[in-house]
Structure 1
Amino acid sequence: MKYSYLFLLCASLTACTPISQSSSNSTGNTKVLRLLDFAYEPQIKTIQLGPTGAPAAPAVTALGQWNLLLQFDDLRPERDTYYVKFVHCNHDWTKSDLQDLDFLETYNEFPINNSEFSVDTHIPFVHYWVGLPGVKIPGNYVAVVYRGSDKGDIVLSKRFMVFDSQVSFTSNGNLLGPGTVANLNQQLNFSISYQNLDINNPLIDVHVNIRQNQRWDNMASDIKPSFVHDIEKELEYRFFDESKMFRGGNEFRFFDLRSLNYPGRNVAYVDKKQKPFDAFVAKDKSRNGESYAQYNDLDGGYNIDNLDYNKELAYSNYVNVNFSLSSPPVSGDVYVTGAFNYWNLNQENKMHYDSAKSQYSARVLLKQGWYDYQYLVKSSTLPPYYFEGSHFETENYYEILVYYRPFQPRADLLIGYIRLDKNPR
């Protein structure tokens, strides 16, 4: 299928306003669809969407390659009936004007037929999974899972992207030169060539977004080219100011909770007095002002795994994971975050200050596995990375997404996608 469009995909969390329509579910509670990664009920946990066999990888696929698998846990002992539907979105993750049949061959309702009961776990749960069906056009999509025949009884929403390569990239991932800002930041310089497309006004019709480590909260959205070369059909992106740069951040903190019998790295101990168990991550301290230390991480992700039962995930327990950060109180709210909570800053992962222990603490229910995490500050006076520090040497990966809105269909289509590794090991 050939299109006349070019675009870069990325969406900002702040641009993702809830859809105005809402409906009541079978219990009478009103749920409003949010076009972002979100769980609408507390018992819906461990939502993953990625290529089959690689659930932690980006939820991105090429048009015609239907390899995305959606899976989640329902922390209840009974099996339920779930369906998934799709919402097509523009480059900014607002709902597009397309009708369902514009991007699907069939009715927009797909049953989730695969499920598995947990075995001898402290909290019984049912694990569900479904391979996502194909779509007809590229772009941003949100998979929406709802219970039974009530489409208003939403339990989760998860973003994914489908691209159709119509452009080519040249990249130069130069770090900035020496200086105070350069020691914190990372910069990507690149060009986009659209030789096979007729784009009359690329400054208006082309949108480029850049995402760091699959994060939506710090995505650079709707970036405009520094230079437009009409004759060469090339858009050049060269960033000369700090507003178009990413903080390098730091390598992520991590802990290994794959075993409850033999606590792994950075797990101080596991308290088994009551079920579910409590695992205590080794006490952390601020890394602000420390020199950069190189080590491998999952770039903020996590892997579900179980070493106690030979990797049989049906036996994997949910555990109350206790975090502690030694620090005097700071101006603002402190959160422990990562891919495990979709990078959201909410009450579940907000830390509370214990003046008697001079530390921030949080308790989060997580499934056995290996987790990356970090501490972020929400403050009017402190940077988000206050406790982590920021270094240009940090290994990160970036996704460049290119969107183009042709005359028909009048929707933003994802016509370019590339992943670039910064400081690869």
Structure 2
Amino acid sequence: MPMRLFNIVYITILCLFSTFVIGQTLEILPPKNITTVQVFNPQKNDNTAIIRLGSNEYLLFLFDDLEAGYKRYNYKIEHRNADWSESNIFESEYVVGLNNDYVRTYKNSFNTYKKFTNYQIQFPNKDMNVKLGGNYLLKVYTTNEDQPIFTKRFAVYQGNVDVGMKSSRYINPTYKDINQRIQTVISSGSQNLTETPDGGKLFIMKNNNWNEHIADINPDFTRSNQLTYNNVEWTFEGGGEYNWFDTKNLDVPGLTTERNFRKDSVYHTVLRVDFPKYNLPYDDYGDVNGNFYIRNNRFGNEYLAASEADYSWVYFALDAFEDQNGLYEPYVVGAFNNWEISPQSKLKYNPVSKLWENEYFLKQGYYNYQYVVVNTKNKRVEPSYVSGSFWQTENLYQGLFYYRPWGGRYDILMGYGEVNTRN
């Protein structure tokens, strides 16, 4: 996989397990008792963690504590630059209201075998808002804000520039897996986009995955009110459609489920064995671009399912995987585990079943997932080694345009756009 594919490929394996680091720790993964961490936009019914400043949009941050019973969880937000480094500006420059509060909305599980407590944070709310567009980090902690339980990224854009995006098929016989090209035009009716050399920064990510992206992109054509990014090298692997499973009903197996059963008062879900698809024709079936939705067949309502959906051990299995004598290590990833490359997401070979296996304790719902590999020599993630890469694959690409005005001390997220490869 060539270096140009991603600015940094999956951030060099999330800095080799569990945390993503830029100068200081950015993304902190939760401990084992904290599960099902979501950022959800109720207005769009999706997991895009980006809203417009001054609009009626808001985000819900949800998580479960498997150590059931109320705990006082606190939270705050931090402003970040385009590269997610600390902006080091005063809280009064970007916060409206409080910047330390506790989670006020919680509910104990009801009618479930596994007991837990669900917590929800709405942002913005009557006590906390922001006045600047930009990248933000939510930190959840108990007593010490410098020792968060976990962190989560989101962004707020100002909307004073338009981000127009177009996707097209890309053909290069040398790199057959790179087959989706993204072109972007940034337009503004008021902001001079060229008054500051290199003041503008374009960030393009795929399917709400902050780790799969292109950054540090230079425009090919510039005007004072328009920047055009048209370089043929700004391309992505199309990949394959995501695998999926459905556990909304734990009494009846779904189409991709081998069987469900209950043991020791806990549900278990055995998925059908998956196979590599890189040597097969493109298979067109619907997915949700790697995301997941918490649902229970008794409730179509997300809010009721948050406390009344049960948990199940979900067993993944991959057959016919070629590790090339240890050169490639397989992992199962998706939004459900924040696409983390870690010991927990790594598949292990079972000499009895002759399958590569893993298991996760997951809440009822609809889930997408994929198998990726890590090249043990160069430490890079190769997302298409198992699934293959096809130009027909439906993907969502999202463009975030940041700008630092002349004399500015931090990056402002000016605009946001997106394009679906099927549009």
Give the one of 355, 358, 365 matched to 2:354: 358
Distance 1:376 1:12 in 2: 11
1:78-134 Cα distance to aligned partner (Å, 9 max, x none):
101112100100001111121111101223112211100002323211001121132
Give the one of 225, 237, 256 matched to 2:229: 237
Name 1:27's counterpart in structure 2.
Answer: none
Secondary structure of 2:96 counterpart? coil
Distance 1:247 1:178 in 2: 12
Counterpart contact for 1:175–1:182, Cα < 8 Å: no
Identify if the C-alpha distance between structure 1 residues 215 and 328 changes in structure 2 by more than 3 Å, giving closer, same or farther: closer
Identify if the C-alpha distance between structure 1 residues 176 and 332 changes in structure 2 by more than 3 Å, giving closer, same or farther: closer
Alignment of 1:36-55 (within 5 A): 36=27, 38-52=28-42, 54=44
Identify if the C-alpha distance between structure 1 residues 46 and 53 changes in structure 2 by more than 3 Å, giving closer, same or farther: farther
Q: TM-score, normalised by structure 2?
A: 0.87
1:327 aligns with 2:320: yes
Name 2:310's counterpart in structure 1.
Answer: 317
Name 2:179's counterpart in structure 1.
Answer: 185
Name 1:17's counterpart in structure 2.
Answer: 21
Identify if the C-alpha distance between structure 1 residues 370 and 265 changes in structure 2 by more than 3 Å, giving closer, same or farther: same
Distance 2:123 2:383 in 1: 35
1:135 aligns with 2:125: no
Q: TM-score, normalised by structure 1?
A: 0.87
1:339 aligns with 2:335: yes
Deviation larger for 96-105 or 312-321? 312-321
Alignment of 1:117-136 (within 5 A): 117-133=108-124, 134-136=129-131
| 1:306 Cα deviation after fit | 0.7
Distance 1:383 1:52 in 2: 33
1:158-199 Cα distance to aligned partner (Å, 9 max, x none):
111000122224443222247464664100112212341124
Distance 1:35 1:132 in 2: 19
1:222-252 Cα distance to aligned partner (Å, 9 max, x none):
211122234xx321111223xx210000111
Identify if the C-alpha distance between structure 1 residues 179 and 358 changes in structure 2 by more than 3 Å, giving closer, same or farther: same
Distance 2:46 2:156 in 1: 17
Instruction: Give structure 2 stretches of 5+ with no counterpart.
Output: 1-7
Percent identity of equivalent pairs: 28
Secondary structure of 1:286 counterpart? coil
| 1:270 Cα deviation after fit | 1.3
1:38-84 Cα distance to aligned partner (Å, 9 max, x none):
43311111111122355633011111125111111111121011121
1:306-341 Cα distance to aligned partner (Å, 9 max, x none):
115676422311111000000244022110010000
Distance 1:19 1:285 in 2: 39
| 1:356 Cα deviation after fit | 3.1
Give the one of 98, 106, 116 matched to 2:107: 116
Identify if the C-alpha distance between structure 1 residues 81 and 171 changes in structure 2 by more than 3 Å, giving closer, same or farther: closer
Counterpart contact for 1:118–1:125, Cα < 8 Å: yes
1:204 aligns with 2:198: yes
Counterpart contact for 2:22–2:84, Cα < 8 Å: no
| 1:358 Cα deviation after fit | 2.3
Distance 1:12 1:289 in 2: 24
Name 2:374's counterpart in structure 1.
Answer: 378
1:90 aligns with 2:94: no
Deviation larger for 280-289 or 301-310? 301-310
Name 1:247's counterpart in structure 2.
Answer: 237
Q: Counterpart amino acid of 1:412?
A: D
Q: Counterpart amino acid of 1:63?
A: L
Name 1:172's counterpart in structure 2.
Answer: 166
Identify if the C-alpha distance between structure 1 residues 377 and 144 changes in structure 2 by more than 3 Å, giving closer, same or farther: same
RMSD of aligned alpha carbons: 2.3
Name 1:221's counterpart in structure 2.
Answer: 215
Q: Counterpart amino acid of 1:414?
A: L
Distance 1:303 1:216 in 2: 19
Identify if the C-alpha distance between structure 1 residues 223 and 325 changes in structure 2 by more than 3 Å, giving closer, same or farther: same
Instruction: Give structure 1 stretches of 5+ with no counterpart.
Output: 1-9, 21-33
1:367 aligns with 2:358: no
Distance 2:197 2:276 in 1: 43
Distance 1:52 1:98 in 2: 30
Give the one of 56, 69, 80 matched to 2:71: 80
Deviation larger for 159-168 or 386-395? 159-168
